[in-house]
Structure 1
């Protein structure tokens, strides 16, 4: 039981609230409502397996870095609660489960699954050589709505790009917030977070720009799929949440990063999912 709880802590199971709602959103728009139970279940499993692999691989790859960082030195591997070998096996098992689960969806999902798992794992390397690592993380999560769409239809549709792009920039924007906590550490270790390279003020401007484009993409997506009133109400509320998020984090006051990162963004994704779902049933 202790190891199980440690695994949940390692993969930050509560952060599933970021990617999963958008995977479900892509699925719901493709099916024009809740799809059959098989598809619904498989999409949830695929999202969980991919996310488990990505989070565990990040902890595996960054174990030595985490051990040096006062903020992260108590994570599972540096603290000795899980071994690197165990975590690597966990990554491999979840990657195989992800690919295997896509087989039961359709042929396109199965063919694309190795590319998807490569992207979500590759992110962990990127902060070693590029300040665009935030966008790579965004891409890893941006796959989710496209995956949900493909799971239902078995084909790719140009429309879903705008939802995926919105998720990509949304995640990149709030990941910039998150990296503000480690700005001095990243500089000392030669890591390539955006704030450590261009400073807090410019990084916050870029985050705001990303989130402005998020709203534009969600607006255009709603337009091309002919969304109804409930979608627009949800988008309005979610847009106000993004604005509120940017009032919490200031260049000279980073004390509310956790509130901006987790609480506000958790509500953002769930609100869009709920109101978009209501659009098909009310």
Structure 2
């Protein structure tokens, strides 16, 4: 029983390390992209291997980020409780976890089509390199969004094996959305970033201007979602309802921001955005069925 408990605890800790629940940020947009690419539901095998690739890439990238940032996390009171600073997980364990997930990602890409397999090493470099950007540029938020935007783009390639404009528009939506709420989250660490020599929009531009930049990114994001309605003839009124609900949720998100309240910041940066992605997915799927 002790061995089983250890395995369960270790699994739980790895899930917490990579914030597995945050898969809801990229997963809904990847599903939307696959559905649009297939003009309906994609083949079961394509759906399976696409989801395996998405989860494996995300787990590997998040674990890599935690490994690279472990010294900064240990110095920051807000993150000092994380698994690596607390030595709840060892560096070698996390390294093995990263390698296994990236290997699974490459395997899944190879099971999809030659284009996905060829692009898989490029994707690994992109999603891993984000961890270093905050050391030299305040554009790190946009780069984070750019790496996560690979989910809907890769999902399109998984279904069609071909290039197209739609997944790149959807990817840009994801990039702006992620960057916007990552800037919100970073307002908690303005003083620490300054003392540690890390770069962020809040550190460079200040609190108020950072929130203005975040609102601007989200405004452009919503505009692109509306553009997709006109760009894709198959979209209808249910899709627009989803966009309208997302606008309301984004407004609430920006309204409740309070860096001194960790609970509010988690709701604004994470919880509401998980709801937003699921609302867009649900309305897009329903729109497709109608």
TMscore range, shorter length: over 0.9
- Counterpart of 2:112 in 1: which secondary structure? coil
Pick aligned residue for 2:213 from 206, 211, 218: 206
Task: Name the counterpart of 2:204.
Answer: 197
Deviations 1:69-104 (A, max 9, x none): 111111111101111111111111111110111111
Q: Does 1:78 align with 2:85?
A: yes
1:63 Cα deviation after fit: 0.8
Task: Name the counterpart of 1:275.
Answer: 283
CA distance in 2, matches of 1:277, 1:32: 11
Deviations 1:12-62 (A, max 9, x none): 111111011111111111112221111111111111001101110011001
1:255 Cα deviation after fit: 6.3
Ranges in structure 1 where 5+ consecutive residues have no aligned partner? none
- When the two chains are superposed, the root-mean-square deviation of aligned CA atoms in Å is 1.4
Aligned pairs for 1:92-241 within 5 A: 92-226=99-233, 227-241=235-249
Residue correspondences, number? 282
Q: Which runs of 4+ in 1 moved over 3 A?
A: 250-255
Deviations 1:231-262 (A, max 9, x none): 11111111221122111126898862111111
Ranges in structure 2 where 5+ consecutive residues have no aligned partner? 1-7
1:222 Cα deviation after fit: 2.1
- Counterpart of 2:57 in 1: which secondary structure? helix
Task: Name the counterpart of 1:257.
Answer: 265
Is this contact kept in 1: 2:258–2:265, CA < 8 A? no
Is this contact kept in 1: 2:256–2:264, CA < 8 A? yes
- Counterpart of 1:77 in 2: which secondary structure? coil
Task: Name the counterpart of 2:274.
Answer: 266
Q: Please report the TM-score for the alignment, with normalisation by the length of structure 2.
A: 0.94
Task: Name the counterpart of 1:27.
Answer: 34
Is this contact kept in 2: 1:53–1:92, CA < 8 A? yes
